[in-house]
Chains A and B, each alone.
Chain A
Amino acid sequence: MTITPETVAFAIMSVLVLGGGLGVVSSRNLIHAALYLALTLFGVAGLYALFEAPFLAAVQVLVYLGAIAVLVTITIMVTRRLMGITENVNRQWPVAALIAVLAAAILGFVVISQFAGVYPTQAVPPDTIERMGQSFASHQGFLLPFEVASVLLLAAMIGAIVVARD
């Protein structure tokens, strides 16, 4: 295996994702956990950029880092009781760790057994975003999911407002 800039970037991003994930579950301070989560999300954005999915990368940063990470942090800060927790309150963590390791092993097995040695056969076409937009708005494409997504988000907002205010 040769070391190219791509492999180096992939290694850095993977370390960010995995290290961030480990930080999320192991840090006692909830705000620190949220910050580690932001690190993980950033690493995922980097991976998308590396895999030539720039639109997904930008969306990942915009939505996950710029909105969801901020929302999570604000939620922790607004809920005063959560701020005080510094002790490890979850007594079942050994079981959870075991289950997490098992899940990772199964997922890893599936990925390796199914996709080992599979490489992209053709380059990414330059007009992917245009094609995506066209398929969003045609009946042969994803018109129904596109419109349903907006209805779903409407429902999500109604639910959130009802829960937060009442």
Chain B
Amino acid sequence: MSEWAFIALLFVISAMLPMVPIVGGRLLGPHKPNEQKNSTYECGVETVGDTWVQFKVQYYIFALVFLVFDIEVVFLYPWAVAYNQLPLFGVVAGIVFIVTLAEALLYAWQKGALEWL
């Protein structure tokens, strides 16, 4: 438990460190808003339309493929820690797991889910 006390303290301190100068800068720095200054920056050109332009579904697919890989890799970590004590059978079990992961990658690749355009 005491291991996490340090992290909790570091968490609080690392939150304070950026917050103090930002709040301080806001209090000490100049504060003169005007219409031009506060308008959305687009290289000096008036903004046209909504910020919410339609994004490609491709972003979503990348995030999804990543999610699957992320979960799979998390399972591999305990296996990696135990690796030295495992018999050959246990190592092969892990390899089967990795091969299934590779299969998922191959499927996504062949389906064109990894293409950007």
**Contact mask B29-70 → A, CB, 8 Å, 1/0?**
000000000000000000000001011110111011111101
A68 to B78, CA, bound (A): 22
Query: Which residues from chain A contact B89 at a C-beta distance below 8 Å?
Result: 137-138
Q: Is the interface of A mostly helix, strand, loop or mixed?
A: helix
Task: Determine whether A59 belongs to the interface, using a CB cutoff of 8 Å to chain B.
Answer: yes
Rounded to whole Å, the gap between the CB of B73 and the closest CB of chain A is: 9
A120 to B34, CA, bound (A): 61
Q: Is the interface of B mostly helix, strand, loop or mixed?
A: helix
Task: Determine whether B74 belongs to the interface, using a CB cutoff of 8 Å to chain A.
Answer: yes
> Which chain A residue lies CB-closest to B56?
A78
**Contact mask A146-159 → B, CB, 8 Å, 1/0?**
11011101101110
**Contact mask B64-102 → A, CB, 8 Å, 1/0?**
111110111011011111110110011101101100110
Task: Determine whether A111 belongs to the interface, using a CB cutoff of 8 Å to chain B.
Answer: no
Check A147–B100 contact: CB distance below 8 A: yes
Task: Determine whether A97 belongs to the interface, using a CB cutoff of 8 Å to chain B.
Answer: no
A137 to B38, CA, bound (A): 59
Task: Determine whether A134 belongs to the interface, using a CB cutoff of 8 Å to chain B.
Answer: yes
> Which chain A residue lies CB-closest to B78?
A133
**The one of B65, B75, B94, B96 that contacts A157, using a Cβ cutoff of 8 Å:** B65
> Which chain B residue lies CB-closest to A154?
B104
Query: Which residues from chain A contact B96 at a C-beta distance below 8 Å?
Result: 147, 150
Rounded to whole Å, the gap between the CB of A2 and the closest CB of chain B is: 16
| A interface, size bucket | 35 or more
Task: Determine whether B13 belongs to the interface, using a CB cutoff of 8 Å to chain A.
Answer: no
A164 to B56, CA, bound (A): 11
**The one of A83, A131, A164 that contacts B52, using a Cβ cutoff of 8 Å:** A83
A151 to B60, CA, bound (A): 22
Interface-forming stretch among A15-23, A47-55, A86-94?
A47-55
Query: Which residues from chain B contact A147 at a C-beta distance below 8 Å?
Result: 93, 96-97, 100
Check A59–B85 contact: CB distance below 8 A: no
A156 to B53, CA, bound (A): 29
Report A's interface with B, CB cutoff 8 A.
5-6, 9, 49-50, 52, 54-55, 59, 62-63, 66-68, 70-71, 74-75, 77-78, 80, 83, 129-134, 136-138, 143, 146-147, 149-151, 153-154, 156-158, 160-161, 164-165
11 contacts between A and B (CB under 8 A): A49-B7, A78-B56, A78-B60, A133-B78, A137-B91, A147-B96, A154-B104, A156-B68, A157-B68, A157-B108, A164-B64
